[in-house]
Amino acid sequence: MCKKCRPYDKSMKKRILFVTALILTFFLVLSCTTIKVRDYELDTSLLAEKSQIKIVLISDLHSTIFGKDQTTLIELIKKEKPDLIVLSGDIVDDVVPDLGAGLLLSGIKDIAPIYYVTGNHEYWSGNVQNIRKWLQSYQVNILSDTYVPLNINNNEIILAGIEDPDKKLFETPDYNQKIIMESTFRELDEKISYKILIAHRPENIETYKKYSFNLVLSGHTHGGQVRIPYIMNGLYARNQGLFPKYAGGLYQLNNTTLIISRGLSVNFWRPRIFDNPELVVITIESNN
């Protein structure tokens, strides 16, 4: 082959490699738009003998719609037959219309009791008070820096929830989450029950660990957006930056178990790679 042709050949090879990379990236992103059900099994001596509690954790939906009228997501939740449904924030969005969230809530409101805490995007909408009322119209219970005792399958548990810290920026300027947690949750140290905290942001786990919660349920990270299985759990998470310590999954931190949902949002501008949207199912069993 003539020497004059070689530069042309190299240029063509670069173009082919570039196009191939684009195609592979496209299919990787496309393949990460389907929901994965992520199961976790925990055990405790704080439940009655041979009993269990099943929780479905929904986080960071951002009003994304799966299937016609949200049927794909609704049917997955129904199939699990949960005792409790937890919404750990960013169920609605500050930009995307709330249709997807409304379809979901309409479809699941009669499956099991639903409990919710705010995420940052509900505050960013500038409409958080109306969002709370709207959620309550779907029989959603709001946990706003408080806790409730619940009886599930003859087990008394305590379910607590805290507001997203952006409450200070958008609703209550003198809001101090650490002071409120101390005044509200310190008394739980005296109670012998299985205790669960719903908190949108996992990066504040060092604060949550100061209390007697057995389990903390969070979201916010979107799974770090980009993963390399067995090598990198997440590339970037808001408020943690690159290579976040708490991107998604289960973390055992002494007596506290932290479970972070990778969330359900699918957004063209924030593509997921090896990071499918996920529905988290947690089964807590008695080890008596």
Residues of the chain with pLDDT under 70: 1-10, 12-32
d(CA 174, CA 214): 29
In whole angstroms, what is the distance from residue 27 CA to residue 31 CA? Answer: 6
| pLDDT value, residue 229 | 87
Task: Encode pLDDT of 254-282 as tens digits.
Answer: 999 999 999 999 987 788 989 999 999 99
pLDDT recorded at residue 28: 46
Q: Give the distance between the most distant pair of CA atoms in the chain.
A: 85
pLDDT for the residue 23:
44
> What is residue 31's predicted lDDT score, i.e. its pLDDT?
46
Please give, one letter per residue, the 3-state secondary structure of the chain.
CCHHHHHHHHHHHHHHHHHHHHHHHHHHHHHCCCCEEEEEEEEECCCCCCCEEEEEEECCCCCCCCCHHHHHHHHHHHHHCCCEEEECCCCCCCCCCCHHHHHHHHHHCCCCCEEECCCHHHHHCCCHHHHHHHHHCCCEEECCCEEEEEEECCEEEEEEECCCCCHHHHCCCCCCHHHHHHHHHHHHHHCCCEEEEECCCHHHHHHHCCCCCCEEEECCCHHHCECECCCECCCEECCCEECCCCCCEEEEECCEEEEECCCCCCCCCCCCECCCCEEEEEEEEECC
pLDDT in tens, 12-44: 666 655 544 444 444 444 446 899 999 999 999
The pLDDT value recorded for residue 260 is: 98
- pTM for the predicted model, two decimal places: 0.90
pLDDT on residue 13: 65
What is the predicted pLDDT for the residue at 268?
75
